[in-house]
């Protein structure tokens, strides 16, 4: 079984925030594979269903970003899962908008959701990093991630979430390179190839 955790902050006021693109992607996966409805469990919203023949639980922690690990840890203990069965989908400042990278382990790069998950369950889990770009000054980061995507960004955000859902079977099967390539090909076809950016692994 695979646990895919999308990160974000709960509440309608945060729904369109850059920090919530992890929620947006997981919701699109649920929609594409008719998984749901989500129900309240493990201090989060959770839904189970098959993706490409694999049993998957989708979770969106409702603890606020900096306590995401409480929800993810609870779900992992319930399902008796190891770190190799956890995929975390999150916003990434160090990637250009419409860029996606998959990596296992590594630092949290100041991301409080990742820091919390690592503190609760360990570090060597898979991260699907969704580029949102950087405001250019670290003092602007807090407001940047907690502000909604601009109207001009809506196209690539929707296209990226659709592309992730479209390639989710390869992610569920652990075919990370294929997943990454499929997403980027779909984004390029939609006219959102993404600009190269500093990619800190």
pLDDT (tens digit per residue) in 105-137: 998 888 999 999 999 999 999 999 999 999 999
Q: Which residues of the chain have pLDDT under 50?
A: 195-201
Catalytic residue, candidates 19, 90, 134, 184: 19
In a domain, 92, yes or no: yes
Give the pLDDT score at 110. 86
Domain region containing 6:
2-189
pLDDT digit string (tens) for 57-79?
999 999 999 999 999 999 999 99
Q: Are strands 126-131 and 100-104 parallel, antiparallel or unpaired?
A: antiparallel
In CATH, what number is assigned to the domain containing residue 105? 3.40.50.1470
Establish if 165 belongs to a structural domain. Answer: yes
Give the whole-angstrom CA distance, residue 123 versus residue 131. Answer: 20
Does residue 200 fall inside a structural domain?
no
198 lies in some domain: no
Is 201 exposed, middle or buried, given 0-12, 13-18 or 19+ CB atoms closer than 10 A? exposed
Full-model pTM: 0.94
* Cβ neighbour number for residue 106 with a 10 Å cutoff: 14
Total of domains in the chain: 1
The pLDDT score that the predictor gives to residue 198 is 35
Burial of 44 (0-12, 13-18, 19+ CB in 10 A): buried
In a domain, residue 194? The reply is: no
The yes-or-no answer on residue 90 being catalytic is no
Q: Is residue 146 part of a domain?
A: yes
Hunting for tokens 């995929």 — which residue is that? 87
48 located within any domain: yes
* 64, 167 Cβ separation under 8 angstroms: no
- Report yes or no on 196 lying in a domain: no
């Amino acid at each position: 079984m695979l646990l895919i955790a999308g990160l974000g902050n709960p509440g309608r006021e945060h729904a369109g925030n850059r920090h919530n693109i992890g929620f947006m992607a997981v919701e699109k996966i649920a929609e594409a594979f008719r998984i749901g409805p989500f129900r309240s469990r493990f201090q989060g919203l959770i839904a189970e269903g098959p993706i490409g023949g694999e049993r998957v639980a989708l979770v969106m922690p409702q603890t606020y970003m900096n306590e995401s690990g409480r929800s993810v840890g609870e779900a992992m203990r319930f399902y008796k899962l190891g770190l190799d069965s956890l995929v975390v989908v999150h916003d990434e400042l160090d990637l250009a908008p419409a860029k996606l990278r998959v990596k296992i382990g590594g630092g949290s790069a100041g991301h409080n959701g990742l820091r919390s998950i690592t503190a609760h369950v360990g570090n060597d889990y898979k991260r699907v990093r969704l580029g949102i770009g950087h405001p250019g000054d670290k003092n602007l980061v807090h407001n940047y991630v907690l502000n909604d995507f601009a109207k001009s960004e809506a196209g690539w955000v929707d296209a990226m979430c659709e592309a992730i859902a479209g390639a989710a079977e390869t992610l569920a099967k652990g075919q990370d390179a294929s997943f990454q390539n499929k997403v980027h090909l779909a984004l390029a076809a939609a006219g959102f190839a993404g600009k190269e950016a500093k990619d800190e692994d």
